[in-house]
Amino acid sequence: MTDSFSLKGKTILITGASSGIGRACALECSKAGAFILAFGRDEDRLAESISSLEGEGKAFSVELTNTDEVDEVMKELENNGVKIDGVIHSAGISTTLPLRMITPDKIQPLFDVNVSSAIYLSKWVTRKKMVPENGSSIVFLSSVMGSVGEAGKTIYSITKGAVLAASRSMAVELASKSIRVNCISPGVVESPMSENAVYSRNESARKKIADLHPLGLGKPEDVANAAIYLLSDASGWVTGTNLFVDGGYTAR
């Protein structure tokens, strides 16, 4: 790895670090030299993530939809003089629900985790005291569902499209502070989220989904490697963009 792709000396905050893509991001960013602030809820799985790191890191059990909990942890970090070089917001939830079954109460929980928590956390990490002199980089996990559609994905798509839209305005607003904001839009990645999805219930449904990806289903590490690029100095002139990491799903 050349120096510009290295995360050596950087502190990276990763939400969803207790599972799937977020955990892979923690492990791969650690291999790339970063100190990891691992956010999640399940303490045992968070501890597993921390113990698998190549370098150093610290776990924080936080319910991201509870702003008091977020405030408490972020205040502690700020008071300890922690500067945040990068963020990967991987925490998220999904649902597959036909339009006829959608009610307002089904929308809010997804919006709270996938969108509102991303914005609230971004407010914290872009505070003057938390941004290193050279600026920082924020990466949101959107999804191909933020740009294209599938039956039953209306609510999930709303939230992932919202994150894409937010990242562009944030990128413009924060550029003068050398803070970059980008999204990654994965196709289907093998993780607990996709394993629990309806398309994983039987082999033929799973094959149908896999066949939509010319390169097959993704691995969490495929997304983590893209995140490393967006966090590193190698992407210093990249902001407000959306990187599809989807095995060719959207190329079809």
Ligand X SMILES: NC(=O)c1ccc[n+]([C@@H]2O[C@H](COP(=O)([O-])OP(=O)(O)OC[C@H]3O[C@@H](n4cnc5c(N)ncnc54)[C@H](OP(=O)(O)O)[C@@H]3O)[C@@H](O)[C@H]2O)c1
* Contact positions vs ligand X (CB under 6 A): 16, 18-22, 40-42, 45, 63-65, 90-94, 113, 141, 143, 186, 188-189, 191-194
CB of 217 vs ligand X, minimal distance in Å? 8
Please tell me the distance from the alpha carbon of residue 163 to that of residue 160, in angstroms, as a whole number: 5
User: Which neighbouring-strand residues pair with 244?
Assistant: 185
Three-class DSSP category at 245:
strand
CB of 16 vs ligand X, minimal distance in Å? 3
Count of beta carbons in the 10 Å neighbourhood of residue 80: 7
| 11 or 18: CB nearest ligand X | 18
Helix (H) or strand (E) holding 15: strand 11-15
| 114 or 239: CB nearest ligand X | 114
- Distinct helix (H) and strand (E) counts, the chain: 9, 7
Q: Using an 8 Å Cβ cutoff, are 47 and 60 in contact?
A: no
Classify the C-alpha dihedral 225-231-235-238 as positive or negative: positive
Please tell me the distance from the alpha carbon of residue 56 to that of residue 35, in angstroms, as a whole number: 5
- Nearest Cα neighbor of 168 from 180, 186, 151, 185 is 180
CB of 176 vs ligand X, minimal distance in Å? 28
Residue 118: exposed, middle, or buried by beta-carbon count in 10 A (0-12, 13-18, 19+)?
buried
CB of 140 vs ligand X, minimal distance in Å? 8
Q: Which two tokens stand for residue 242?
A: 């959306």
Tell me, what amino acid is at 214? P
CB of 80 vs ligand X, minimal distance in Å? 21
| 3 or 105: CB nearest ligand X | 105
CB of 199 vs ligand X, minimal distance in Å? 10
| 102 or 193: CB nearest ligand X | 193
Q: Using an 8 Å Cβ cutoff, are 135 and 129 in contact?
A: no
CB of 11 vs ligand X, minimal distance in Å? 19
| 32 or 59: CB nearest ligand X | 59
| 157 or 235: CB nearest ligand X | 157
| 75 or 177: CB nearest ligand X | 75
